[in-house]
Structure 1
Amino acid sequence: MDSRTVALIRTTFKAVAAEEGGPDKLARSFYAILFTEYPHIRDLFPAALGAQRDRLIKAIGYTVERLEEPDRLLPFLAQLGRDHRKYGVTAEHYAAVSRSLRLALGGYAGTELWTDEVERAWEEGLDLIASTMTTAAEQETAPPVWTGTVVEHRAVLRNLSIVRLRLDQPMTYAAGQYMSVQIPSRPRMWRYLSAAVPPNPQGEIEFHIRSITGGWVGPAVVGHTVVGDRWLLGSPLGGLGVLRNTRRKMLMVGCGTGIAPLRAQLLAMTQRRSNPRVHLFVGGQHPCDLYDLATLSALSVAHKWLTVTPVVESIENPWWYADSGDPAPELPALQRRQVGQIGKVVAAAGDWSDHDVQIVGAPPMVQTTKFRLMAAGVPTRNIRHDPLF
């Protein structure tokens, strides 16, 4: 794809996104066209489309920004293609989505912006996306979905649970990856969750789930999951991980349940003969949000290459937290607990310009931490995070 085509696609999308309410209006228009002209496709989507619309716009934005980075974009699209097999998506569906999106963009952008050249540019870009996803799906030999049984559900906080499943067949994934899950009470609603443990011979996988106000899946998991529930899991996604035999020092930053993929990587690293130095900052709004410090402390005691620094924004717990003990005590091998916004604390804690960096958490936290580290001299190419969907 040449630079002119990329520029036309990027300019069009930014113009639409810059309008007040533009992204949401574009998503609504797209789905209206898609379901009107291809009504049979509606059954692939959940009844409530709010989260789906938001995810669509973020996925388009992520792709548009990386059209000139094929080494990063194409593997991401290939992963999405393998994951979309869980929906039963075919080439016909990709063609319908592509046409509907072009019609929605054209209708929203207007005749002055939406020229024949712009439409051809979008057609070329969407063809690249569809062909990459389709090819990856066709070449994949792993199952389109995995099934697993809940073997443990542990309530950690009022709004946070740890769920462990035993898969019916092994799943090959890298520590640090995430996958979409579907629970029995929320059919066709898939939520992305990161594995908190590396692959293991027992075929067990663990997720840390926070209930988000207004969410559909999280509250159902936290409030109603029971041992014996059967879940569906999509293909592994994401590119986080620590290469074997690397000597580059690592900086890991995780907030809340964002600690899960970093935790999985640390557990996997304990099985290696040698590792680089790793400094992990684990953050939360309140002390009770640092729910897994005991595990991290034990890892740090056993492995001298790991340093762990807890960070909280408030030293007080929320009113509803009834436990009289300190859920984030000064445990052995942990650095002294810091108070402040985690991005600011991390950026001021040292020179990280020669470190590989991973950031995991809510999108605002990831972006803020990334910008603070870049301002402190960390090269953008050294910073990794998964798509902020």
Structure 2
Amino acid sequence: MAAVVRESWALVEPRAHELATTFYRLLFEHAPQARTLFPVDLPPHRSRLLPALVHVLQRVDRPRELSPILAQLGRDHRKFGIAATHYETVGVALLGAVEQLLGAAWTAEVADAWAAAYSVVSARMLAGAAAGNGPASWLGRVVDHHRLSWDLAVISVQALEPIPYRAGQYLSIETPHRPRLWRYLSPANPPRPDGLLQFHVRAVAGGLVSPALVAHTRVDDVWRLGPPMGGLPLDAESRRDLLLVAGGTGAAPIKAIVTQLAVQGGPRRTHVFVGGRTWIDLYAVPSLTALAHRSPWLDVVPAVEHNAGEAEHGAVGDVVGRHGPWTDHDVIVAGSPDMIRATVARLVTAGTPPDRIRHDPLLTDRAA
């Protein structure tokens, strides 16, 4: 099933923009009321939803990898008021769009494979939604906006009710400056009794949300926050030493995990590598280094690609590789998709077992 989906997608992928246009046309023809669920400025959104959906469909033969993600997505989509009928309508539009572009290549075998794959995905998302027993979303008020540079800001949000996330997870957020445009951000702190969350945001060039967050967020803005997602929280059963690798604002979930370890008394030897193109990308290093000075279980190594100064020179994955091997460690990698791919490849080549390396799905830059 998944192999047939992958093979047929290879024929459609060069016309992905046309596919997206056809998909949304069919979707709104079947369900005009669904238009209110999407941003007013729809064209930029087209480049995000459909590739993510196809990415998942091509991997339905990996249930261990996908099932937790799909369950989380199902719970997350409750904030839109999504019902079972919406899933059916999306499936009809998706298969109809692929059929139109494939033409004669849309055989009975291909149709059955796409239908079966979509059925698996939608069923797991619906099960995840049904299992959600908390609020569909929360409200939070911005209490501080600290701009570190023209394209980087630290934003503190006071949740009005506790959000049951774990250090290393991320939340979808919607702001008054970009209604109906949700983006994922990772809290840089573990859950606190007062409900305060700190987010690190970099303005992505050409992004729809992150530039507005960095430039236009104001104290007292009210955000909506979706259910926690992601698979980076620590494995409580493991006693192996830890290797935590961050690139750019991937420092946020890594900092949350390290802070949680400090609260627990540093039960595991932990090596943290923080990388960036320039020193400004290492904004989290001073606070992590200060914690390391008080914590004998923690080492922090900064890595800079240009004008390294006192940091190690090179891409963070290469620097990690020079300090290896890391064959006996649990590894968590957080950053851009390109940074994660390069770092994971370096680690695997050096002998780290792939099943000990964890990172979030490589779908897109989450905060664009």
Q: TM-score range by the shorter chain?
A: over 0.9
SS where residue 111 of structure 1 aligns?
A: helix
What are the residue-to-residue correspondences of 1:172-321 with 2, within 5 Å? 172-315=164-307
Aligned-residue offset at 1:72: 2.1
2:104 is matched by which residue type in structure 1? T
Aligned-residue offset at 1:65: 4.7
The answer on whether the counterparts of 2:155 and 2:199 sit within 8 Å (CA) in structure 1 is yes
How many angstroms apart in 1 are the aligned matches of 2:131 and 2:326?
A: 40
Which residue of 1 is the match for residue 339 of structure 2?
A: 365
What are the residue-to-residue correspondences of 1:161-172 with 2, within 5 Å? 161-172=153-164
Aligned-residue offset at 1:56: 2.2
How many angstroms apart in 2 are the aligned matches of 1:379 and 1:198?
A: 28
What are the residue-to-residue correspondences of 1:1-389 with 2, within 5 Å? 5-17=1-13, 19=14, 22-112=15-105, 114-315=106-307, 337-388=311-362, 389=364
2:77 is matched by which residue type in structure 1? H
1:65-112 CA-to-partner distances (Å, cap 9, x unmatched) read 532221221111010000001111111110010111101111122222
How many angstroms apart in 2 are the aligned matches of 1:211 and 1:130?
A: 33
How many angstroms apart in 2 are the aligned matches of 1:25 and 1:345?
A: 42
SS where residue 387 of structure 1 aligns?
A: coil
Structure 2 unpaired stretches of 5+: none
Aligned-residue offset at 1:374: 1.8
Which residue of 2 is the match for residue 323 of structure 1?
A: none
Structure 1 unpaired stretches of 5+: 317-328, 331-336
SS where residue 78 of structure 1 aligns?
A: helix
2:155 is matched by which residue type in structure 1? V
> Percent identity at matched positions?
42
The answer on whether the counterparts of 1:62 and 1:387 sit within 8 Å (CA) in structure 2 is no
Aligned-residue offset at 1:205: 0.8
TM-score, scaled relative to structure 2: 0.94
Query: In angstroms, what is the RMSD of aligned CA positions?
Result: 1.7
Aligned-residue offset at 1:36: 2.6
TM-score, scaled relative to structure 1: 0.89
SS where residue 189 of structure 2 aligns?
A: coil
Aligned-residue offset at 1:378: 2.0
How many angstroms apart in 2 are the aligned matches of 1:311 and 1:49?
A: 39
